[in-house]
A and B are shown apart, each in its own frame.
Chain A
Amino acid sequence: MSNVAGAPGTAEKSDGAAAKRGSEALHYARRNPKLLIGLGIVLGLLLLGIIAPFFVDHDPNEYIGPQGQAPDGEYWMGTTSFGQDIWAQFVYGLRATFLIGIFGGGVAFVIGTAVGFVAGYKGGIIDEILNMLTNVVLVLPALVVLIVVTAYLEVRGLFVQGVFIGLTSWPWAARAVRSQALSLANRDYVDLARLSGRRTWKIITSEIAPNMSSYLVMSFILLFGGAILIAAGLDFIGLGPSNGVSLGLMLESAVGWGALQRGMWWWFIPPGLGITVIVASLYILNVGLDEVFNPKLREL
């Protein structure tokens, strides 16, 4: 048995193994419609949010055009009842929405994975303490706390909103990462890394995290989508950034100034559809990634 690996025909297999691993995931990724559609929509909207604001030469909140104008050639998405350009608001709003998703989701991801890895790897009393903390934050009524805290803040910016969303939405990520890390931490190769004199953080980052990288990517995507939804909710009840633009704030002012009653569909449909499409395609993207990484879910 010991000389099987040296037998003819095995040599060429080894050279391509690294490439093969990556290309296998790529092979399934290219053929997965859920992944392609989700990724396409998310990237398309992201590009729109990044590039389009450069072609808008006025402030999105400026009263620039006729009041309550329906979409036409000059104002692609029409204007509000004050004469603000909805297209300008929409593209700036997209930008803010992606920023809050990346920032709020990122803060939650960093805290959640750090807590999860340390709890899962160290175990014992550290695990008990971190788990208790996680459970306490998990049962906090996050939206109520967010409402109370943001209501008391003098200046509300994107940054503060992101930090608060991050600080309240990490617990489930911590629990998910902890359970995975717990099972990986007992593998023999982790013990072997300890015998090689590796430090704890190095073992976590180079032995445990790479084995659950797909899991981490998916956690981040879900946190990203969750942060967008929470931010939209806060904006909608009037606790968004004080003087910014976001899809949630657009919805708030549309409802506040009676766009529904007046039949100004061009005012509330773009932001509402925008949020729905972003979050829905993130979830579709996530299901697609799951199918790519998990062979059991692959469709033939």
Chain B
Amino acid sequence: MLELKNVHKVYRVGAFGGGRKRAVRDVSLTVEPGEVVSLIGESGSGKSTLGKMVLGLFRPTEGQILFEGTDITTIKGHAARKEYYRHVQGVFQDPFSSFNPIFKADRVFEMIRSTYYPGVSDADWKDRVLDALGTVRLDPDNVLNKYPHQLSGGQLQRVLIARALLLDIKLLVADEIISMLDASTRIDVLNLLSDLKERGLGILFVTHDLSLGNYVSDKSVILRKGAIAEMGPTARVFENPLHPYSRHLLSCVPQLHRTWAEVDAELAANPPEDVELPVAPDEESAPLVEVEEGHFVGINQG
């Protein structure tokens, strides 16, 4: 459904745009219907940039982003872009800045209505909104006709997901949607994502949290400095991390019953089997090597 082919993003930085900053380097991946793909990486790894490029908010410097066969960078004109957003929607990291603070929160539904369903009657529209709110398990009385500051982060985040559900979406880009929520509301939103997955939605789940990636996704992509370090089925990536960076990352996850020293000692005692990492021929490309079925490792960037 969604396919990224050798996508690059290079920012111009500094005075007169003289400097170059490579945010995304040669990334290729796919998202299928009903599949949750996690983009995992530290800050600055290019994961949010990838999400925004899929949403068409940034243009890739090079490469193709194909959605159902069409390259989205070739979409021209307002009508075509509108049609793309009918199927692809996003939810952002900070629910409080996703709402214009001077308007009521349910204005996001009205925006969808005025652009996509101008002909729908008031009663019919109300049913649809209530239906969408029911799907995200929100009580309409609690959220309709309220200002953003009167709602909690979890409620706002679910309002945004409900907004996306009003459209006929096939792909949802969830950019760090959990990181601003507290633990009790996190699990609600995560469970909601798995419900959506059951309905056949493809989800691109951008996160810096390994355990969340493990919890929700079918496929995990670990990014490092804009390039893919390791990509494969989540179970394989987490059970048998092959790239040195993924191993390091996994050993950094705090564990409830063990101290850092114990983890380090264990890692030193059983050094993991080594795999041959691909070598990049130049500064720009980042080739992948398939080590087992569907499980790829990328270049080592130190």
Contacts and interface: CB of A to CB of B under 8 A. Distances in A.
Interface of A: 1-6, 10, 13-14, 17-18, 21, 187-189, 191-199, 207, 210-211
Contacts of B86: 197
Given A2-B185, A6-B139, A17-B147, A199 B78 contact: yes
Contacts of B160: 192
A195 B90 contact: yes
B89 interface: yes
Given A5-B155, A189-B98, A198-B111, A14 B116 contact: no
B100 A195 contact: no
Contact of A14 (B112, B150, B185): B150
10 contacts: A2-B152, A2-B155, A2-B184, A4-B152, A5-B155, A14-B145, A189-B99, A192-B160, A198-B115, A211-B100
A188 B147 contact: no
Nearest to B101: A211
A5 B81 contact: no
Contacts of A193: 111
A211 B102 contact: yes
B108 A192 contact: yes
B256 interface: no
A199 B98 CA distance: 18
B170 to A, nearest CB: 14
B256 to A, nearest CB: 24
Nearest to B173: A195
Contact of B92 (A4, A17, A192): A192
Contacts of A1: 152-154, 182, 184-185
Nearest to B92: A188
B175 to A, nearest CB: 9
B245 to A, nearest CB: 30
Contact of A188 (B98, B112, B153): B98
Given A193-B111, A196-B115, A207-B100, A6 B55 contact: no
B102 A196 contact: no
B128 interface: no
Given A1-B185, A196-B112, A189 B155 contact: no
A211 B90 CA distance: 23
B146 interface: yes
Interface residues of B, number: 44
A194 B55 CA distance: 10
Given A2-B188, A195-B55, 15 more contacts: A3-B142, A6-B141, A14-B150, A18-B104, A21-B102, A187-B100, A188-B93, A191-B55, A192-B90, A192-B108, A195-B89, A196-B108, A197-B85, A210-B102, A211-B101
B81 A197 contact: yes
B199 interface: no
Contacts of B93: 188
Interface of B: 52, 55, 57, 78, 81-82, 85-86, 89-90, 92-94, 97-104, 108, 111-112, 115-116, 139, 141-143, 145-147, 150-155, 160, 182, 184-185, 188
A191 B57 contact: yes
A290 to B, nearest CB: 18
Nearest to A10: B150
A12 to B, nearest CB: 12
Contacts of B116: 197
A142 B283 CA distance: 52
A283 B78 CA distance: 43
A1 to B, nearest CB: 5
Given A5-B142, A197-B81, A199-B78, A188 B94 contact: yes
A189 B86 CA distance: 18
B142 A6 contact: yes
A211 B101 CA distance: 8
B115 A197 contact: yes
Nearest to B111: A196
Contacts of A6: 139, 141-142
B264 to A, nearest CB: 37
A4 B153 CA distance: 11
Contacts of B185: 1-2
